Structure 1
C-alpha cells in the first residue's frame, strides 16, 4: 500500500495543459465491497487490480480486526477468512470514522458469528445518507437491533431468512447490503427498485463466482436464492469510472490531452456523450492494455444542461469535476443534482477563483427530484467562460477535492490546496500521476 501522505498541503502552479498517459485500476466503489464479501467464503479469495488508496487500507484494517488474514503477493490481494472472530468495539471505532463500510459488514458477520456491531460511521459530508433502511432491511431478514453505549448491536438468534423488499430510492449502499445479506439467508429474497450500477453488477458477478444464485430482472428487480455455503473467489474488478471521468475533466479544463489506460467505453457511455456535447474529443482503444484518450481539440467549449441520476443516468460523482470544465464553456450551463442533497458546496471555492456560479433550491431540470420542496440547494447555473485565478483552497470531501485540484491546475497563478489527504481516499498515486502528466505541484 502507499505510505500515507506526510503533508496535507499541495502547492499547484496552474496554467499548464495536462498531457501524457496514466492508468486506472479497480473501482473504489467495488473493491471495498469485494473485500467485505470475502468474509462470506469458506476458502480464501483473490482480488486483482486493487488500487492503493486509503479506503482499501481502512477495509483491510477492519477485516484483520475480525481475524481475516490479508496480504498482498504483488499481483493480487489475498483474503483468508478461515478464522473470523469478533472484534472489540474500541478497535472498530478507531477506523469507523474514516469510512461507511462497517455497515456492510453486518450481513456477513451475522452469518459467520451471529452478531455484528455498528459504530459511528464516517465518509464524505455530502448529505446524511442515513442507515435507517440498512437497519430495517436487516430486521426484515430476522436480525435484532439493540442500542448500547458502544453503538448498535445486531444479533440473529434464529438465523437470517429471505424476504421481500422495495427501496424508496435505488440506493447503491442499500442494494449492496441486501446482496451481502441475502446470498446466505434461508429462502428467496426479492429486491425491488434496486440500484443496477456497473459496480453492483460486478459485485453480483463476484458473488456468483462464490456460489451465489442471483438473477437480475427488468425494472430494477433482483432475486437472490440463499445458499448454504459460499467459496472464495478470484476476481478482477471493473475499472474506476469515477477516476476516469476525473482525469478526462482535468484534460478538458486545462486544454490538455490525457490517455487513461484501463478505461472502458461501456462504463462511460453517458459521460462520453456529455463530454463530446460540450466540445471535448476522445478515442477508444479496445486492444489489451488500451483505454480512452481524452483531449481538448481547440475552439470554444459549449454550455450544456445535465441532471445527475442513478445508472444509467449521469453519475453524481461525475458532475463535480465536469463543472470545472463548464466554467470554461461559452454560455449558461445548468446542473440539477438529484442524488445527494448537499453536493454543490464546492462551487463557492470556484467562485472565489473567478467562476460565475449561482446555486438554487429549485429543481432546474425535468427529472422528478426528492429535494425540490425540501429547501436543499441542489441546482446550479454556470456562466462562462470565466478566467480562473489561483487561490487558497480547503478540500471538504473526496470528489469536491479533486474538482478543486482540477480548478487549481486550470487557473492562472499559484494555488495552495489544503486537505489533500482526503483525495488519497479514492485516487491512487494521484501525485505521481499529476507529475507524469506535466503538472507543476509541490507537496
Structure 2
C-alpha cells in the first residue's frame, strides 16, 4: 500500500489508511513476490484507475496456484487482462461494467478481487460459485460499511449493486480462525488445557468436529467468543481421516497442524489434500523428527501414531508447514531447529510471545532452537 502512495499509520493494533494520495497503479515484483495475497490489489486498482499492473504473485510454494480465476473474473467485468513480462496488466479505460461471473472453483482471492472491483462497476454483478469463507462475509461487511451494496456473502451466490464511490469507515477485523486452530491443535498434540479467546466456533466447525472425533475435550462458550480444549494424554486420542475442502470443509491451512497432531494419536489417520498441490511437503520434515508418514500420489498422507518424536534440524516449507514444525518441536524430545522461520512470522502475530505464555521455550532468532 505504501508503494502505491497510500498513507498508513499504526497505533497499537489500529491501522489508519488514507488512500486519497494514491499515485501509482503498479505493484512491484519485490513486494508481491513475498505474499500471494498482494494480488488482491488488482481489482481495486482497475476499478479506481481503469489500469492496474501487479507482478505475478509469490508467497508460499504450493504448486500451480494459478491466478486464472482472478483474470477471468476481471475480464468478465470488461477489463482487458494480459500477462506481460511477469506482470498481470488490467486495463478498463471506460470503467468496469457489471456482469455475471461464474467461477470454475470457489477461489477466495478471486472472489475478493471481483467483489472489490464490482462495487464500483455500473449495474448489478452476480458471482456464482463464490467462495463462502468467513473472510468473504467480513469483506462484504467492510465494503457495506463504506457504502457498497453486497448481498449473499457467505453463500455460493453474491449479488453486488455498483455504487459511484465509497466513503471512509471504521472496522474491526474478524478473529483469525487459522491462528486459533493452530493453537487448539498444538494444545491437543502436547497435552494441556487452553482457552483461545476471541475465537468463533462457527468458523471452525469442521475442525472442532474432527478434534472431538479424536477424543479431544472441546468446550465453547456462546456468551463470549472463545474455544477451550483439554487433553491429558495425547496418546489417548484416536486417529481420524481428514479431507481438505473449501469452507465449510476442513481448512487446507490447518492440514499440516492436524498432521502433527495425528503423529501423537493412537492408530492411523489419512489426510487427503484437495485444495493445493505440494502441500504435503511438511511430511518429509516430520519424518526427519521420527514421525511415520507415508505419501501416496502427492495428495494423500498416511500417518501412524503414536510416535515419540526426536528433535533435529528441519526446514519450513511454507507458512503453515512452518507453524506445524514448531508444533512438532514442542512435542519432540530434545532440541528442534526450524530453518526458514520467516515464513511463520508472515502469518502469526507475536507467535513466540504467545507460545512462551503457554509454557513453551521458544526463540525466533537466526539459528535459534524451537524446543519444549
Which TM class, normalised by the smaller chain length? over 0.9
Say whether 1:436 aligns with 2:357.
yes
Q: Which residue does the alignment assign to 2:195? A: 259
Say whether 1:291 aligns with 2:226.
yes
Distance 2:84 2:137 in 1: 36
Whether the 8 Å CA contact 2:125–2:161 is kept in 1: the answer is yes
Distance 1:217 1:314 in 2: 19
Whether the 8 Å CA contact 1:307–1:338 is kept in 2: the answer is yes
Whether the 8 Å CA contact 2:99–2:124 is kept in 1: the answer is yes
Distance 1:110 1:424 in 2: 30
Distance 1:149 1:399 in 2: 30
1:396 paired residue among 314, 317, 338: 317
Q: Give the direction of change, closer, same or farther, for the CA distance of 1:247–1:150 in structure 2 (3 Å limit).
A: closer
Whether the 8 Å CA contact 2:56–2:87 is kept in 1: the answer is yes
Say whether 1:73 aligns with 2:73.
no
Say whether 1:348 aligns with 2:348.
no
Say whether 1:424 aligns with 2:345.
yes
Distance 2:93 2:154 in 1: 35
Whether the 8 Å CA contact 2:137–2:153 is kept in 1: the answer is no
Say whether 1:115 aligns with 2:51.
yes
Q: Give the direction of change, closer, same or farther, for the CA distance of 1:147–1:263 in structure 2 (3 Å limit).
A: closer
Q: Which residue does the alignment assign to 1:386? A: 307
Q: Which residue does the alignment assign to 1:29? A: none
Deviation at 1:150, TM superposition (A): 6.5
1:198-252 CA deviation, whole Å, 9 max, x = no partner? 1111111111111111121896111111111111221112211101111111111
Structure 1 stretches lacking a partner, 5+ long: 1-62, 362-376
Deviation at 1:295, TM superposition (A): 2.0
**Aligned residue runs from structure 1 range 10-89, under 5 A:** 63-74=1-12, 76-86=14-24
Q: Give the stretch that moved more between structures: 173-182 or 66-75.
A: 66-75
**Secondary structure at the counterpart of residue 335 of structure 1:** strand
Deviation at 1:286, TM superposition (A): 4.2
- TM-score (normalised: structure 2): 0.93
Deviation at 1:101, TM superposition (A): 2.8
Deviation at 1:118, TM superposition (A): 1.6
**Secondary structure at the counterpart of residue 30 of structure 2:** helix
Q: Which residue does the alignment assign to 1:94? A: 30
Say whether 1:319 aligns with 2:319.
no
1:379-424 CA deviation, whole Å, 9 max, x = no partner? 1111111111111111110000001110111011111111111110
Q: Which has the higher contact order (CA 8 A, sep 6+)?
A: 1
Whether the 8 Å CA contact 1:142–1:158 is kept in 2: the answer is no
**Aligned residue runs from structure 1 range 148-297, under 5 A:** 148-149=84-85, 151-216=87-152, 220-288=156-224, 291-297=226-232
**Aligned residue runs from structure 1 range 355-370, under 5 A:** 355-361=291-297
1:184-209 CA deviation, whole Å, 9 max, x = no partner? 11111111111111111111111111
Deviation at 1:345, TM superposition (A): 1.0
Q: Give the direction of change, closer, same or farther, for the CA distance of 1:149–1:268 in structure 2 (3 Å limit).
A: closer
Tell me the matched-pair count.
Answer: 363
Whether the 8 Å CA contact 1:390–1:414 is kept in 2: the answer is yes
Distance 1:249 1:149 in 2: 42
Say whether 1:132 aligns with 2:71.
no
Alpha-carbon RMSD across the aligned residues, in angstroms, is 1.8
Deviation at 1:146, TM superposition (A): 4.5
Distance 2:25 2:126 in 1: 31
**Secondary structure at the counterpart of residue 304 of structure 2:** strand
Whether the 8 Å CA contact 1:303–1:331 is kept in 2: the answer is yes
Q: Which residue does the alignment assign to 1:3? A: none
1:349-382 CA deviation, whole Å, 9 max, x = no partner? 1112111111112xxxxxxxxxxxxxxx101111
Structure 2 stretches lacking a partner, 5+ long: 366-372
